[in-house]
């Protein structure tokens, strides 16, 4: 459990791996889309980069600079993800209770994710979580993805709070880096012992096992 009081004016949450259990659909869609290009990648290798933009995954595992193949990969990924049985994943353990407790304190909540805003809102709605959020900020055209601060800054602006008075809750180093680049605080949630051990080196103010701990 984190060892300080939650003294902030707003909380911003990452989506995948933080609020919803989307890893299986993302990983398997990426593996399948890469296989279409003749590139074989283990699921665990993709899981290590959960939350990365598709362009970054392509550069990491293909890296040929071919824009046409990149567009093919992205189209295939979206197709495979949207036909996956877990395309609308459920909330992770403790998420509903944690969000409800924060909302009951009157804290405005937002989502800041690498996904486009519309896709993020659709998944939040399907998971029954959209009602908790005053704003959903995806990485829309013209915005830089995490670890750049864009989604955190836009979410703070929408909530009318300064980043210094906001907390970003995520599950990856890029969430922490985006928060710090914006001037916000950061906490990491890890739903397994392995994830929490890894998160200890991310540079966040604290590591928790459930949003209820906030």
The catalytic residues are 14, 16
**Where are any strands of DSSP class E within 56-154?**
109-112, 135-137
User: Helix, strand, or coil here: 204?
Assistant: coil
CB–CB of 109/11 below 8 Å? Answer: yes
User: Helix, strand, or coil here: 92?
Assistant: coil
CB–CB of 87/16 below 8 Å? Answer: no
Residue identified by tokens 């001037």 is: 183
What are the percentages of helix, strand and coil residues in the chain, rounded to 5? 45, 15, 40
């Amino acid at each position: 459990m984190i060892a300080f009081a939650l003294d902030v004016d707003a909380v911003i949450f990452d989506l995948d791996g933080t609020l919803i259990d989307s890893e299986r659909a993302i990983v398997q869609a990426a593996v399948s889309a890469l296989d279409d290009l003749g590139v074989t990648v283990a699921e665990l290798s993709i899981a290590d980069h959960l939350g990365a933009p598709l362009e970054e995954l392509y550069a990491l595992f293909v890296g040929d600079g071919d824009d046409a193949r990149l567009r093919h990969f992205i189209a295939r990924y979206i197709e495979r993800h949207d036909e996956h049985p877990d395309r609308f994943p459920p909330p992770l353990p403790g998420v509903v209770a944690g969000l409800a407790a924060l909302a009951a304190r009157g804290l405005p909540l937002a989502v800041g994710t690498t996904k486009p805003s519309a896709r993020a809102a659709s998944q939040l709605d399907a998971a029954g979580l959209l009602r908790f959020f005053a704003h959903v900020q995806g990485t829309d055209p013209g915005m830089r993805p995490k670890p750049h601060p864009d989604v955190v800054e836009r979410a703070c602006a929408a909530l009318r709070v300064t980043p210094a008075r906001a907390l970003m809750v995520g599950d990856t180093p890029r969430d922490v880096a985006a928060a710090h680049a914006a001037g916000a605080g950061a906490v990491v949630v890890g739903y397994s012992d392995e994830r929490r051990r890894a998160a200890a080196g991310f540079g966040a103010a604290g590591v928790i096992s459930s949003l209820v701990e906030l």
